[in-house]
Structure 1
Amino acid sequence: MTKEFLKDHCEKNKLYRTPYLNDTLYLHFKGFDQIENLEEYTGLKCLWLQSNGLRHIENLQAQTELRSLFLQQNLISKLENLENLSKLYTLNVDNNFIQTIENLSCLPELNTLRIAHNKLEMKADVEHLINCPSISDLDMSHNSLKDPDILSVFMCMPQLRVLNLMGNDMVKYIPNYRKTMTVHIKQLKFLDNLPVLPIDRACAEAWAAGGLDAERKEKESWQMRKWKRMQDAIDALKPIHAKHEERRRLKELEERGLTEASNTPGSQNPSECSEIQDMSSSQVGGCIQPSVQDSLDSNEDLQK
C-alpha cells in the first residue's frame, strides 16, 4: 500500500490524484496485510478494506472525518486504534477472529456495528457494549454466544433497535426467545430476520404480565380493532359511492331523454321537413292535373 500505488489506484478508479480531495477509497480485494500511507487522505468519509489479509486496525489517525469503515473478511483479532475516528457511524468487522468487543466507547456517533462470524462466546466478551449507548443496529450473528445472561447487556443499550443473534446457542437457552427479547429490549424494532410489530410487542407484554390467556385476549382485542378500522373505512366510502351512483343515474336519464326526443315525429330537422314538403307538392300536382283534364273533356261533350 505505497503512496504511488494509492495515487495510481485513484486515477484508475476515476478518483482524485490529490489525496485529500477524495472522500471514498476502494482498497478491497488487494491482498494488503497492513494499513499504511493514508496520512494524506484526510478527507475520507468511507474506506473499503474488506477481503484483504489485514491483521491489525492501525494507521488511521488522519481519518478524523471517516463515517464508514469496512474491514470484514480479514484476519483481525482485536478492535483497537479507533480513538481518532470520533465521527465513525458504521463499523463492519464481520468474518474476522475477534474474541472481545472493546475500545469502542471512544466512538460517540457509532450507530451500526457488524461483528458477525467472529469468536465471541461469553457475557464478558460483549459487556463493553454497555459503554456504547449510541449503537442502534447490532449484528452479532453466527458467533459462539452461549450465556443467556447476555440479555442484560442488551437491556442497558437505550438506542438498540435492530438486533441479530441468529446462529448463536444462547437463542436456545432463553425461554420464549422472541417474547422475552421483545419485552426486555424496549426500543427493539427488528429481531433476527423478522420485524417486531406493534401487535407483537403488545402481545409479548400481555404474555409477560398474565401468561398465555392474557396474550390471547390481547391478540383478539387487536384483531377486533383492526376489523373495526376496516369497517369504519367501508362505512366512510358508502356515501361517496351513493353520490357516484346518483350522478350516474341522472346522466343515464338525461341521455335517454335526448334519445326519445330525437325519435318523435315533430322532432325532424328543417332540412328533412323541406324535403318532405317538396315531395308532397310534386305528388299533389301530379294528381290534380289529370282530374282537371277529365272535367274539360266532359264539358265539351255536353255542348255538342
Structure 2
Amino acid sequence: MEDGGQENKEREQILSWPRMTKKFLKDHCKQNKLYSTPQLNDTLYLHFKGFSAIENLEEYTGLKCLWLESNGLRHIKNLDAQTDMRCLFLQQNLLYKLENLEHLKKLGALNVSNNYIQKIENISGLRGLTTLHIAHNKLETVLDVEHLSQCLAISVLDLSHNLLNDPEIIHVLEAMPELRVLNLMGNEVVRKIPNYRKIVIIRLKQLTYLDDRPVFPKDRACALAWVAGGLDGERKERELWETRERRKIQDSLDGIAMIREKAQGEAAAARAAGER
C-alpha cells in the first residue's frame, strides 16, 4: 500500500507539472528555429522547463545532445530511441538512480551532478563514455563507486562534494586505465588520506589534473622522490627541477640574444654594402 501510495503521489505531481508533450516539442523547435521534422534535430535545449518526466521523444531519433538541466526529473527513462546520443545533461534534477542508459551506446559525456544519486551503476556497458560528472550527490562508500572499475573508457571524472569517506576508493580509481582528470574536492576522504595529493598522483599514474590544478611531470617526480627519500628526497628532486628550469630559461634568453646579434650584424652589413 505504501509503494502504491508513493506511485500515485508521483503520478499526481507529474500531471500537475509542465508536460513534455508532442505539441510542446514541436512549438519549441519552431520557436528556436530548429527542424519541424523531429528526426532531423541533433540538439534539444529542454532545460529550466519544469518537466517532471522525459516523454514523447520517440521521433527525435537523430539527437546527439540533449539538455535537461534544472527540471524536476525523478527518473531517467524514455530515451530508447536516442541511440546516437553523445552528450546527456541531467544535472540539477531530482534523480535518485542511474537507470535506463544501456542503449545509449555512443554516449560520451554524462552530467548528473546536483541530484540524489547514492550509487554508481548501470553505465559499464557504455563503452564510449569518457566523461562523467556526478558531483553534489549522495555517494558515500566504496560499494557506492566500485562500479567505476568496470567503466574502462572514463578519462574525466568529477566526484566532488559527495559524502565519500573511505580511503579504499583509491583502489577503484586505480582500476580505471584511462583516468586523466579527477576531482574529489569537498569529500571527507581527502582529509583521511595522509599526504593526499602526493599519494593520489603516485597511485594514479596517468593523472594529468587533480582537483583544482594540473599534475605536471615535476609534481610526479617530486612525489616519487618523497616516497623513496622522504622530505629530504623531495627537496633535492625539486631543486634539480628548478635548476633545469632555470637553465632552460637562460638557454632561451641566450638563443634570443644570438638571434638579435645575428640580425643586427646582417643589418649592419647590408647598410655598409649600400654605402659602397
Q: CA deviation at 1:199?
A: 0.6
Q: CA deviation at 1:232?
A: 2.5
Q: What TM-score, normalized to structure 1?
A: 0.81
Of 144, 165, 177, 1:125 maps to 144
1:8 aligns with 2:36: no
1:236 aligns with 2:251: no
1:25 aligns with 2:44: yes
Q: CA deviation at 1:225?
A: 1.4
Q: CA deviation at 1:143?
A: 0.6
Q: Secondary structure at the match of 1:148?
A: coil
Cα distance change, pair 20–253 in 1 and its aligned pair in 2 (3 A) = closer
Task: Tell me the matched-pair count.
Answer: 257
Q: Secondary structure at the match of 1:91?
A: strand
Matches within 5 A, 1:95-174: 95-174=114-193
Q: Which amino acid aligns with 1:114?
A: H
Q: Distance in 2 between matches of 1:233 and 1:118?
A: 48
Q: 2:234 — aligned with what?
A: 215
Of 62, 67, 84, 1:48 maps to 67
Q: CA offsets, 1:142-175, max 9 Å, x none?
A: 1111111111111111100100111100000001
Q: Secondary structure at the match of 2:168?
A: helix
Q: Distance in 1 between matches of 2:267 and 2:57?
A: 74
Q: Distance in 1 between matches of 2:69 and 2:268?
A: 69
Q: What TM-score, normalized to structure 2?
A: 0.89
Cα distance change, pair 235–82 in 1 and its aligned pair in 2 (3 A) = same
1:34 aligns with 2:30: no
Q: Find the structure with the greater CA-based Rg.
A: 1
Q: Which amino acid aligns with 1:153?
A: V
Of 59, 83, 88, 1:69 maps to 88
Of 104, 112, 121, 1:85 maps to 104
Q: Which runs of 5+ in 1 are unaligned?
A: 259-304
Q: 2:11 — aligned with what?
A: none
Q: Secondary structure at the match of 1:207?
A: helix
Q: Which amino acid aligns with 1:234?
A: L
Q: Secondary structure at the match of 1:163?
A: strand
Q: 2:225 — aligned with what?
A: 206
Q: Distance in 2 between matches of 1:239 and 1:108?
A: 53
Q: 1:269 — aligned with what?
A: none
Q: Secondary structure at the match of 2:44?
A: strand
Q: CA deviation at 1:212?
A: 1.2
Matches within 5 A, 1:168-207: 168-207=187-226
Q: Secondary structure at the match of 2:135?
A: coil
Q: Distance in 2 between matches of 1:235 and 1:31?
A: 63
Q: For the aligned residues, what is the CA RMSD?
A: 1.6
Q: Distance in 1 between matches of 2:273 and 2:59?
A: 81
Q: CA offsets, 1:82-114, max 9 Å, x none?
A: 011000000000110000000011100001100
Q: CA deviation at 1:237?
A: 3.8
Higher helix share: 1
Higher RCO by CA contacts (8 Å cutoff, separation 6 or greater): 2
